[in-house]
Structure 1
Amino acid sequence: MSQAEHLNQGQRAEDKALDYLEQQGLELVERNVRYPFGEIDLIMKQGQIWVFIEVKYRQSKQFGGAIQAISQSKINKLRRAANHYMQCHNIDAQCRFDVVAIDAKAIDWITNAF
Protein backbone atom coordinates (compact mmCIF):
# COMPACT_ATOMS: atom_id res chain seq x y z
CA MET A 1 0.00 0.00 0.00
CA SER A 2 1.36 3.41 -0.95
CA GLN A 3 1.70 6.21 1.59
CA ALA A 4 -1.14 8.15 -0.11
CA GLU A 5 -3.46 5.11 0.10
CA HIS A 6 -2.53 4.66 3.77
CA LEU A 7 -3.30 8.34 4.49
CA ASN A 8 -6.64 8.12 2.66
CA GLN A 9 -7.54 5.00 4.63
CA GLY A 10 -6.65 6.77 7.87
CA GLN A 11 -8.73 9.79 6.88
CA ARG A 12 -11.71 7.57 6.08
CA ALA A 13 -11.35 5.88 9.47
CA GLU A 14 -11.31 9.27 11.20
CA ASP A 15 -14.40 10.36 9.25
CA LYS A 16 -16.15 7.12 10.23
CA ALA A 17 -15.17 7.59 13.89
CA LEU A 18 -16.36 11.21 13.85
CA ASP A 19 -19.74 10.24 12.37
CA TYR A 20 -20.13 7.48 14.95
CA LEU A 21 -19.23 9.72 17.91
CA GLU A 22 -21.54 12.51 16.73
CA GLN A 23 -24.35 9.95 16.59
CA GLN A 24 -23.53 9.16 20.23
CA GLY A 25 -24.01 12.83 21.15
CA LEU A 26 -20.44 14.13 21.18
CA GLU A 27 -19.67 17.51 19.62
CA LEU A 28 -16.62 18.09 17.43
CA VAL A 29 -14.29 20.87 18.61
CA GLU A 30 -11.25 20.29 16.42
CA ARG A 31 -9.49 17.54 14.47
CA ASN A 32 -5.93 16.67 13.52
CA VAL A 33 -4.26 18.97 16.05
CA ARG A 34 -0.50 18.63 15.62
CA TYR A 35 2.40 19.70 17.77
CA PRO A 36 6.07 18.78 17.31
CA PHE A 37 5.74 16.33 20.22
CA GLY A 38 2.34 14.76 19.48
CA GLU A 39 -0.93 14.72 17.59
CA ILE A 40 -4.59 14.52 18.56
CA ASP A 41 -6.91 12.93 16.01
CA LEU A 42 -10.19 14.31 17.36
CA ILE A 43 -11.06 16.75 20.12
CA MET A 44 -14.70 16.55 21.11
CA LYS A 45 -16.96 17.48 24.00
CA GLN A 46 -19.50 15.31 25.75
CA GLY A 47 -21.45 17.76 27.83
CA GLN A 48 -18.84 19.66 29.85
CA ILE A 49 -16.18 16.94 29.46
CA TRP A 50 -13.39 17.44 26.92
CA VAL A 51 -12.62 14.21 25.10
CA PHE A 52 -9.29 13.61 23.35
CA ILE A 53 -9.65 10.76 20.89
CA GLU A 54 -7.14 8.49 19.23
CA VAL A 55 -8.50 6.74 16.13
CA LYS A 56 -6.87 3.45 15.16
CA TYR A 57 -7.66 1.47 12.03
CA ARG A 58 -6.66 -2.07 11.23
CA GLN A 59 -7.91 -4.22 8.37
CA SER A 60 -8.38 -7.17 10.71
CA LYS A 61 -7.83 -8.28 14.29
CA GLN A 62 -5.29 -10.86 13.14
CA PHE A 63 -2.41 -9.19 15.00
CA GLY A 64 -4.38 -7.96 18.00
CA GLY A 65 -6.48 -5.35 16.26
CA ALA A 66 -6.40 -1.59 16.46
CA ILE A 67 -6.43 -1.23 20.24
CA GLN A 68 -3.22 -3.25 20.60
CA ALA A 69 -1.50 -0.85 18.20
CA ILE A 70 -1.39 1.95 20.77
CA SER A 71 2.01 2.01 22.46
CA GLN A 72 2.93 3.61 25.77
CA SER A 73 4.95 6.14 23.75
CA LYS A 74 1.82 7.09 21.76
CA ILE A 75 -0.18 7.44 24.98
CA ASN A 76 2.48 9.74 26.46
CA LYS A 77 2.54 11.89 23.30
CA LEU A 78 -1.25 12.17 23.27
CA ARG A 79 -1.35 13.16 26.94
CA ARG A 80 1.35 15.77 26.39
CA ALA A 81 -0.45 17.19 23.34
CA ALA A 82 -3.77 17.32 25.21
CA ASN A 83 -2.16 19.06 28.18
CA HIS A 84 -0.57 21.61 25.85
CA TYR A 85 -3.88 22.16 24.02
CA MET A 86 -5.72 22.76 27.30
CA GLN A 87 -3.05 25.20 28.50
CA CYS A 88 -3.01 27.11 25.20
CA HIS A 89 -6.80 27.44 25.19
CA ASN A 90 -7.12 28.21 28.93
CA ILE A 91 -9.32 25.17 29.49
CA ASP A 92 -9.84 24.22 33.11
CA ALA A 93 -12.26 21.33 32.83
CA GLN A 94 -12.53 17.59 33.22
CA CYS A 95 -11.12 15.61 30.33
CA ARG A 96 -10.65 12.01 29.30
CA PHE A 97 -8.89 9.96 26.65
CA ASP A 98 -10.90 7.68 24.41
CA VAL A 99 -9.90 5.31 21.65
CA VAL A 100 -12.00 4.48 18.63
CA ALA A 101 -10.72 1.24 17.17
CA ILE A 102 -11.97 0.46 13.69
CA ASP A 103 -11.49 -2.68 11.66
CA ALA A 104 -13.27 -3.97 8.56
CA LYS A 105 -16.20 -5.30 10.61
CA ALA A 106 -16.67 -3.10 13.68
CA ILE A 107 -16.20 0.16 15.52
CA ASP A 108 -15.15 -0.17 19.15
CA TRP A 109 -15.36 2.96 21.30
CA ILE A 110 -13.32 2.66 24.46
CA THR A 111 -13.99 5.50 26.90
CA ASN A 112 -11.36 6.39 29.50
CA ALA A 113 -8.94 4.14 27.63
CA PHE A 114 -5.91 5.40 29.58
Structure 2
Amino acid sequence: MENKTAIGKKGEQLAAEFLIKQGFEIVVRNYRYKHAEIDLIIKRDDWLIFVEVKARSSNDFGEPEEFVDARKVNKIFEAAEEYIYSTDWHGHIRFDIVSVKLGKEPVVELFEDAIN
Protein backbone atom coordinates (compact mmCIF):
# COMPACT_ATOMS: atom_id res chain seq x y z
CA MET A 1 0.00 0.00 0.00
CA GLU A 2 1.40 3.38 -1.00
CA ASN A 3 1.39 6.27 1.41
CA LYS A 4 -0.80 9.35 0.88
CA THR A 5 2.09 11.48 -0.38
CA ALA A 6 3.07 8.93 -3.04
CA ILE A 7 -0.56 8.52 -4.12
CA GLY A 8 -0.95 12.30 -4.34
CA LYS A 9 2.22 12.76 -6.40
CA LYS A 10 1.26 9.96 -8.77
CA GLY A 11 -2.23 11.41 -9.11
CA GLU A 12 -0.91 14.89 -9.87
CA GLN A 13 1.46 13.54 -12.51
CA LEU A 14 -1.31 11.54 -14.20
CA ALA A 15 -3.62 14.58 -14.03
CA ALA A 16 -0.97 16.84 -15.60
CA GLU A 17 -0.33 14.35 -18.42
CA PHE A 18 -4.09 14.03 -19.02
CA LEU A 19 -4.59 17.81 -19.14
CA ILE A 20 -1.69 18.33 -21.53
CA LYS A 21 -3.24 15.74 -23.87
CA GLN A 22 -6.49 17.73 -23.65
CA GLY A 23 -4.67 20.83 -24.94
CA PHE A 24 -4.03 22.67 -21.67
CA GLU A 25 -0.74 24.31 -20.77
CA ILE A 26 0.59 23.68 -17.27
CA VAL A 27 1.48 27.10 -15.85
CA VAL A 28 2.33 26.20 -12.24
CA ARG A 29 2.42 23.03 -10.17
CA ASN A 30 1.83 23.15 -6.42
CA TYR A 31 1.34 26.89 -6.12
CA ARG A 32 1.54 27.89 -2.46
CA TYR A 33 0.23 30.97 -0.71
CA LYS A 34 0.36 31.09 3.09
CA HIS A 35 -1.24 27.80 4.19
CA ALA A 36 -3.00 27.17 0.89
CA GLU A 37 -1.93 25.14 -2.10
CA ILE A 38 -3.30 24.79 -5.60
CA ASP A 39 -2.23 21.53 -7.22
CA LEU A 40 -2.18 22.78 -10.81
CA ILE A 41 -2.74 26.08 -12.52
CA ILE A 42 -3.40 25.54 -16.20
CA LYS A 43 -4.22 27.73 -19.16
CA ARG A 44 -5.96 27.46 -22.50
CA ASP A 45 -6.92 30.40 -24.70
CA ASP A 46 -7.98 33.23 -22.36
CA TRP A 47 -8.88 30.87 -19.49
CA LEU A 48 -6.83 30.44 -16.34
CA ILE A 49 -7.95 27.33 -14.49
CA PHE A 50 -7.17 26.36 -10.92
CA VAL A 51 -7.20 22.61 -10.49
CA GLU A 52 -7.57 20.51 -7.36
CA VAL A 53 -6.38 16.95 -7.96
CA LYS A 54 -7.87 14.19 -5.84
CA ALA A 55 -6.35 10.74 -6.14
CA ARG A 56 -7.37 7.54 -4.41
CA SER A 57 -6.06 4.01 -4.61
CA SER A 58 -9.61 2.75 -4.10
CA ASN A 59 -13.05 4.23 -3.85
CA ASP A 60 -14.06 2.22 -0.78
CA PHE A 61 -14.91 5.46 1.01
CA GLY A 62 -16.31 7.38 -1.98
CA GLU A 63 -15.23 8.96 -5.22
CA PRO A 64 -12.05 11.09 -5.13
CA GLU A 65 -13.84 14.28 -6.23
CA GLU A 66 -16.13 14.04 -3.19
CA PHE A 67 -13.23 14.84 -0.85
CA VAL A 68 -12.98 18.56 -1.63
CA ASP A 69 -14.50 20.13 1.48
CA ALA A 70 -15.49 23.72 2.26
CA ARG A 71 -12.24 24.41 4.12
CA LYS A 72 -10.19 23.30 1.10
CA VAL A 73 -12.36 25.38 -1.24
CA ASN A 74 -11.74 28.50 0.86
CA LYS A 75 -7.98 27.88 0.78
CA ILE A 76 -8.06 27.39 -3.01
CA PHE A 77 -9.98 30.66 -3.46
CA GLU A 78 -7.54 32.51 -1.20
CA ALA A 79 -4.51 31.26 -3.14
CA ALA A 80 -6.17 31.84 -6.51
CA GLU A 81 -7.02 35.42 -5.58
CA GLU A 82 -3.38 36.07 -4.71
CA TYR A 83 -2.16 34.44 -7.93
CA ILE A 84 -4.60 36.46 -10.07
CA TYR A 85 -3.54 39.67 -8.35
CA SER A 86 0.21 38.95 -8.47
CA THR A 87 0.14 38.04 -12.18
CA ASP A 88 -2.33 40.79 -13.14
CA TRP A 89 -4.57 38.24 -14.90
CA HIS A 90 -7.55 39.78 -16.72
CA GLY A 91 -8.98 36.78 -18.57
CA HIS A 92 -11.57 34.22 -17.56
CA ILE A 93 -11.06 31.96 -14.54
CA ARG A 94 -12.47 28.61 -13.55
CA PHE A 95 -12.01 26.09 -10.75
CA ASP A 96 -11.87 22.42 -11.75
CA ILE A 97 -11.35 19.10 -10.03
CA VAL A 98 -9.43 16.22 -11.57
CA SER A 99 -10.31 12.85 -10.10
CA VAL A 100 -7.70 10.09 -10.36
CA LYS A 101 -8.55 6.51 -9.50
CA LEU A 102 -5.34 4.54 -9.30
CA GLY A 103 -5.24 0.90 -10.18
CA LYS A 104 -4.01 -1.41 -12.92
CA GLU A 105 -5.63 0.98 -15.39
CA PRO A 106 -5.82 4.45 -13.80
CA VAL A 107 -8.96 6.46 -14.54
CA VAL A 108 -8.64 10.24 -14.85
CA GLU A 109 -11.71 12.47 -15.04
CA LEU A 110 -11.99 16.23 -15.39
CA PHE A 111 -14.85 18.01 -13.65
CA GLU A 112 -15.03 21.51 -15.12
CA ASP A 113 -16.26 24.40 -13.02
CA ALA A 114 -16.68 21.99 -10.10
CA ILE A 115 -15.73 24.44 -7.37
CA ASN A 116 -17.85 27.54 -6.96
Q: TM-score, normalised by structure 2?
A: 0.90
Matched residue pairs, number? 112
Q: Shift of the alpha carbon at 1:8?
A: 2.3
Residue of structure 1 equivalent to 2:49: 51
Q: 1:1-114 residue pairs with structure 2 within 5 A?
A: 5-104=3-102, 105-114=106-115
Q: Shift of the alpha carbon at 1:9?
A: 2.1
Amino acid at match of 1:55: V
The structure 1 segments of at least 4 consecutive aligned residues displaced by more than 3 Å after TM superposition are none
SS in 2 for 1:19: helix
State the percentage of identical aligned residues: 34
Per-residue CA distance 1:85-107 (angstroms, 9 max, x = gap): 01011111110001001112411
Q: TM-score, normalised by structure 1?
A: 0.91
Structure 1's unaligned 5+ residue stretches are none
Per-residue CA distance 1:6-59 (angstroms, 9 max, x = gap): 322211110100000000000011111111131110011021100100000111
Amino acid at match of 1:31: R
Equivalent-residue separation in structure 2 for 1:11 and 1:75 (angstroms): 20
* Contact 1:98/1:113, CA 8 A, preserved across alignment: yes
Structure 2's unaligned 5+ residue stretches are none
Amino acid at match of 1:17: A
